[in-house]
Amino acid sequence: MNTLTERRSIRVYDPMVKISKDDMTKILDEASRAPSSMNMQPWRFVVVASDEGKKQLEPVLKGNRTQLETSAAMIVILNDLEKYQLAETIYDKAVSEGLMPKDVRDRQIRSITNMVPSLNPDRVEKGGLIDCGLVAMQLMHVAKTYGYDTCPIGGFDHENIVFALGLDPLRYRPALIVSIGKKAEEGYPSTRLDIKDTTFWL
């Protein structure tokens, strides 16, 4: 299966098909192999799978009802503006897995600690959004390898969704929702611009 060419946005799923927490964890784990700036992995996932969770999400969705009602889960991808708080966790893991010497870890942490106060918050936010887009794309392809389909969803109240989910809106900024489930329709084919319309050759 070529997930790159076969993926389509699917908006209606079989509501009887749920995804176990184990499988969802594996899917998110594989998706998280996505690259990110300085490997800071600013994406945070809110897996909205329960009826209560979906009720919480409902008022801040704009349209996209069929995905909410029929998907196994709506995965809200948030951009953590305080991603550097997890730098030690990331580098400690690299050391314990034998991927990085301890002194390199210490140097990196020192340089991040010195750098963070001088960072432009706007650039941190925009950089994190790029990383969230990459993980979202990877999530959609990984889902297909597990036999599920997805739909990227930007149609929601970006100002209020984080608060509605009970999280800190000053720390987390919404990037995208990805609905996931077993498809109950084929979706429709879509065209793409010709490369001549999108590419500058220098």
Residues engaged in binding ligand FMN (CB under 6 A) = 8-9, 11, 64, 151-155, 176, 187, 190
CB nearer to ligand FMN: give 15 or 152: 152
Contact criterion met (CB below 8 Å) for 54 and 155: no
CA 53 to chain centroid, in Å, comes to 18
How near is the Cβ of 60 to ligand FMN at its closest, in Å? 12
How near is the Cβ of 196 to ligand FMN at its closest, in Å? 20
How near is the Cβ of 131 to ligand FMN at its closest, in Å? 15
CB nearer to ligand FMN: give 64 or 108: 64
Residue 17 has phi, psi (to 5 degrees) of -90, 115
CB nearer to ligand FMN: give 41 or 71: 71
How near is the Cβ of 63 to ligand FMN at its closest, in Å? 6
Q: What is the DSSP string of 15-50?
A: TT----HHHHHHHHHHHTTS--GGG---EEEEEE-S
As a whole number of angstroms, the distance between CA 125 and CA 78 comes to 11
CB nearer to ligand FMN: give 75 or 87: 75
Contact criterion met (CB below 8 Å) for 75 and 174: no
CA dihedral over 88, 89, 91, 92, signed as positive or negative: positive
Residue 189 has phi, psi (to 5 degrees) of -65, 150
How near is the Cβ of 2 to ligand FMN at its closest, in Å? 14
How near is the Cβ of 195 to ligand FMN at its closest, in Å? 17
CB nearer to ligand FMN: give 11 or 183: 11
Reduced to 3 states, what is the DSSP secondary structure of residue 76? strand
CA 15 to chain centroid, in Å, comes to 22
CB nearer to ligand FMN: give 193 or 202: 193
